[in-house]
Amino acid sequence: MDRILEQTQGYPYFLQEWGKHAWDAATASPITLRDVKIAAQSAVVALDESFFRVRFDRLTPVEKRYLRAMAELGPGPHRSGDIAEQLRREVTALGPTRNQLIAKGMIWSPSHGDTAFTVPLFDEFMRRIMPGDEWRT
């Protein structure tokens, strides 16, 4: 259970997804750490194909690049200036994009000037779906 809590960062829907995949991976009860390790792979694939992909598909190309820049910095939260630096843009030029992403529920501001993903693991998804540096151009 500790491993699942760590991997999901306690996010309720992810707990359910990991639990389902751990149950499916188990050959007997109780579920073992080995089962949980196997389940992590299929849980991530399932989240990528549904939970994360649905959110990603609602984004404009500019919004995708903004989130990818955030992902480059890690799970966050991140200073707006650091995100702008990743994109080689001025902070003020990115304000409308940031506001659109907040309105779409993709990010939030835990404190003035900070930006964070609204769900855990989205940074990892963004690095998987937009690998390399092509997103910078």
pLDDT tens track of the chain, all 137 residues? 889 999 999 999 999 999 999 999 999 999 999 999 999 999 999 999 999 999 999 999 999 999 999 999 999 999 999 999 999 999 999 999 999 999 999 999 999 989 999 999 999 999 999 999 999 88
Give domain status of residue 79, yes or no. yes
Sign of CA dihedral 132, 134, 70, 123: negative
Q: Is residue 109 part of a domain?
A: yes
Same domain, 74 and 36: no
Query: How far apart (Å, rounded) are the C-alpha atoms in residues 71 and 106?
Result: 12
Considering the domain architecture, whether residues 48 and 93 belong to the same structural domain is answered as no
121 closest CA partner among 26, 40, 58 = 40
CA pair distance 124, 72, nearest whole angstrom: 9
What pLDDT was estimated at residue 113? Answer: 86
Confidence (pLDDT) at 103: 97
pTM, to two decimals = 0.91
What is the per-residue pLDDT for 137? 80
Residues 80 and 119 grouped into a single domain: yes
Residue 1 confidence (pLDDT): 86
Q: What are phi and psi of 87, to 5 degrees?
A: -90, -5
The residue range of the domain holding 115 is 61-131
Q: Where is 116: in which H helix or E strand?
A: strand 114-117
Tell whether 38 and 78 lie within a shared domain: no
Whether residues 53 and 66 share a domain: the answer is no
Asked if residue 65 and residue 127 are part of one domain, the reply reads: yes
CA 65/CA 136 separation, integer angstroms: 7
46 and 67 in a single domain? The answer is no
Domain count, the chain: 2
CA distance 59 to 1: 34
Residue 120: partners with Cβ closer than 8 Å, 6 or more residues away:
8, 9, 11, 14, 75
